A and B are shown apart, each in its own frame.
Chain A
Amino acid sequence: MLGYILRRLLYIVPLLLLISVIAFLVVKIEPGNFCTPLRIQSQALYQRCVASTGMDRPLVVQYGKWLWGIVTQFNFGYSFQNQQPVLRQLFTAGSWQSGTPLFWTLVLSLGTMLLSWLLAVPLGIYAATHRGSWRDWGVNLFSYVGLSIPNFTLAIALLWLLVVVFQVGHNCWNSAQLGQTVCLGVSGLFDGDFVSAPWSLEKFLDLLWHLWPAVLVIGAANLATIVRYVRSEMLDVLGQPYIQTARAKGLGERLVTYKHAFKNALNPLISMLGYWLPAMFEGTLVAAMILQLPLVEKVYWTALRQGDQYVVMTGLLFFSAILIGGNLLSDLLLAWVNPKIRYQ
């Protein structure tokens, strides 16, 4: 087992190297860079900018320098746009009061993951044990809807509900110009003054209030997928002969469902745990962009629009690393829960 893990870990190194090449090339073929706007002002200024940022060197040299910086000093480059190192820009910018991008990404992703599992597993079991009834039908329909709704539409529709129908934004005023109540301030993570305020109960409640649309947008598709998996796994297991044996022994239906069926249905699900963090990435990216959440994904998106090359490269590399890590974790979990799998 240890050898297997080591082999898998070693295998990640060339994979990440290849991906760093791809990320570098993808960013470098983009037309224009940080210095391009200067070209309109004066050619000399542009030349100086290009020389000082090292963008006039051959691509191989640039890549080599970038990689060398990563390997020797864990330095992923410099954000020319914001005049700070990439790692700071992408992960640790901000203060203790307002939180850092990495912190919020972890909180949102893990929180959403936990919530969707807590909700989805009982729902899936319920649907499986009530197979064919209208309740099963309802859960099924719900999971199809969750799977099919585009997350940006869901995000906008939620904001529309909050702002127009319920008028629950924090800053509401009766606009004379528009003739109806206007509410702003449902996006972001905090309302106005709370961003830099010290932590308090009020600030925490404000955070929770801003968090739930994001959780819903990120979690909808996951919830639906997990419900479907739990339901079909449970149906599979409930059809096995040993369940019939358990029932024939006279065990109660509750015991059969939870101890015999669910425990066995859980195995393939556990292996998917590691798969989930990267799977949520797309929802998180969309939620961050629409709801203006200060996440790593939002920084990546902003950098992409500003042509902040090294931030984009590092972002791509980071998201890939999470993807690879998640896959590795799910493989290891699968090997751990299923003794039939060989490590060769």
Chain B
Amino acid sequence: MKTEPTEETCRGEWPFAPTNNKPLSQSRLIWRRFRQHRAGYLAGWVLAIMALSVFFAGFLAPYPATSPHSDAQNLPYAYVPPMLGRIHFQGLRPFVYGLKRTYDPLTSVRGYGEDTSQVYYLKLFVHGEPYRFLGLLPTDLHLFGTGQPPDSPGQFFPLGTDRFGRDLFSRILIGGRISLGIGPLVVLLSFAVGILLGGLSGYYGGGTDTVIQRTVEVAMSLPRLALLLALSAALPPQLPAISRFWGIVAILTLVGWAPLARVVRGQFLALREESFVLAARALGLGDLRIIFKHILPNTASYLIVAATLAAPSVILLESVLSFFRFGVQEPLVSWGLLMADLQDNFQYQIQFHPWLLIPGLFIFITVLAFNYLGDALRDAVDPFNIAEGPGI
């Protein structure tokens, strides 16, 4: 039940009261409100940490993403279970035992055990397999690892390996570049198209508006996922992986621009009648200058929110596509693609190699964080927001 607001409660409830009589700028107000949304703030940090760690993935990961591991007989260390629980300590020095193939003649079970005669210490800043730091600088320095050659049994696979003996943890870190990057990338491109078309539509109105709006309607009447699958099936199979990646980006943009264009149009329609636009026109400024210098900055906060809220669906779509092998392809890595191995002989795989599900957890955390962040930003930029109170 609400009490009648008195002057005291008003002052008390109003958290944005200017201190030392200086009015706060709009962006400072937004930042304050954003800070108050604890979950959103936390989500922002989570995303920042994730972005940093995939940016320095080559160094943080103990192995390069595509390097297979096998024993001296050239048999791959396929589907080694996660070794996080197999770290032992000698005093404070962590070590792992060498990998040993096990075979139980009674049950014919093949697996991996620990060869306690071999001890491999885990070291920091170890010289391991070569890679290019940030794609440029050739180096072999890794944050941690055993520093053994790829055919040694002394490997440390924190989250296990896939069927070629490639380290899942390293692949998750390096695959995060595509999985995390594709959301902002596609949203940015969609916005470029959306701002151009939506802006033209909302600013000029009339015939331009009608044509663009009909196009938007057609684009929004197409089933997203079904069309995505059909379009990526249309990419030629002999295309190199990197061109295919850009093809996927283009397709995702093609499917995603329409709703954003609609948001932009609504904003432009509302703002074009404002007096400051009239003033700008009276000063004789060109249309493009008015659009980009006067109208766009005024809608920027709403557009940023719409972008943040649009990113999760792009990330999810990419992972679904890659999971069904219609998206990104080897040798590139993405979280969806890492789970694609589960598909062949599906029920066998989830029974015996359940660690292949771990990339899904990363997709989940990323999308969750984007959703919280987007909601927090939306509440923060809305000057009339009083209903929700501090978020969870």
Instruction: Give residues in A with beta carbon < 8 Å to B.
Output: 15, 18-19, 22, 26-27, 29-31, 131-132, 136-137, 140-141, 144-145, 147-153, 156-157, 159-160, 163-164, 169, 176-179, 182, 184, 186-187, 232, 235-236, 239, 244, 247, 278, 281-282, 285-286, 289-290, 300-301, 304-305, 312, 315-316, 319-320, 322-324, 327
A residues less than 8 Å from B371 (CB atoms): 144, 147-148
B residues less than 8 Å from A163 (CB atoms): 347, 350-351
Interchain nearest-CB distance for B356 vs A (Å)? 9
Bound state CA distance, A322 and B236, in angstroms? Answer: 30
A residues less than 8 Å from B223 (CB atoms): 278, 281, 316, 319-320, 322-323
Instruction: Give residues in B with beta carbon < 8 Å to A.
Output: 1-2, 104, 107-109, 217-218, 221-227, 229-231, 233-234, 236-237, 312, 316, 319-320, 323-324, 339, 342, 346-347, 350-352, 354, 357, 360-361, 363-364, 367-368, 371-372, 387-389, 392
Bound state CA distance, A131 and B1, in angstroms? Answer: 12
Among the listed B109, B217, B226, B368, which residue makes an inter-chain contact with A315, where contact means beta carbons less than 8 Å apart?
Answer: B226
Q: A27-B230, A176-B108 are in contact. Are A285 and B363 (CB under 8 A)?
A: no
Bound state CA distance, A290 and B233, in angstroms? Answer: 19
Tell me if A304 and B364 are in contact (CB < 8 A). Answer: no
Bound state CA distance, A300 and B339, in angstroms? Answer: 22
Tell me if A320 and B108 are in contact (CB < 8 A). Answer: no
Tell me if A178 and B352 are in contact (CB < 8 A). Answer: yes
Tell me if A160 and B221 are in contact (CB < 8 A). Answer: no
Among the listed B354, B364, B387, which residue makes an inter-chain contact with A148, where contact means beta carbons less than 8 Å apart?
Answer: B364
Which chain B residue has the least Cβ–Cβ distance from A25?
Answer: B234
Tell me if B230 and A304 are in contact (CB < 8 A). Answer: yes
Question: Which 7 pairs, one residue from A and one from B, show the smallest C-beta to C-beta distance?
Answer: A153-B360, A319-B223, A179-B107, A148-B368, A179-B109, A148-B367, A30-B234
Q: A144-B368, A316-B230 are in contact. Are A323 and B221 (CB under 8 A)?
A: yes
Bound state CA distance, A305 and B326, in angstroms? Answer: 10
Bound state CA distance, A319 and B217, in angstroms? Answer: 15
Interchain nearest-CB distance for B81 vs A (Å)? 14
Bound state CA distance, A151 and B360, in angstroms? Answer: 10
Q: A153-B357, A178-B352, A320-B223 are in contact. Are A159 and B347 (CB under 8 A)?
A: yes
Tell me if B221 and A19 are in contact (CB < 8 A). Answer: yes
Tell me if B354 and A281 are in contact (CB < 8 A). Answer: no
B residues less than 8 Å from A305 (CB atoms): 233
Bound state CA distance, A324 and B219, in angstroms? Answer: 11
Which chain B residue has the least Cβ–Cβ distance from A292?
Answer: B346
Interchain nearest-CB distance for B38 vs A (Å)? 11
Interchain nearest-CB distance for B362 vs A (Å)? 10
Tell me if B339 and A153 are in contact (CB < 8 A). Answer: yes
Among the listed B108, B320, B352, which residue makes an inter-chain contact with A152, where contact means beta carbons less than 8 Å apart?
Answer: B320
B residues less than 8 Å from A187 (CB atoms): 346-347
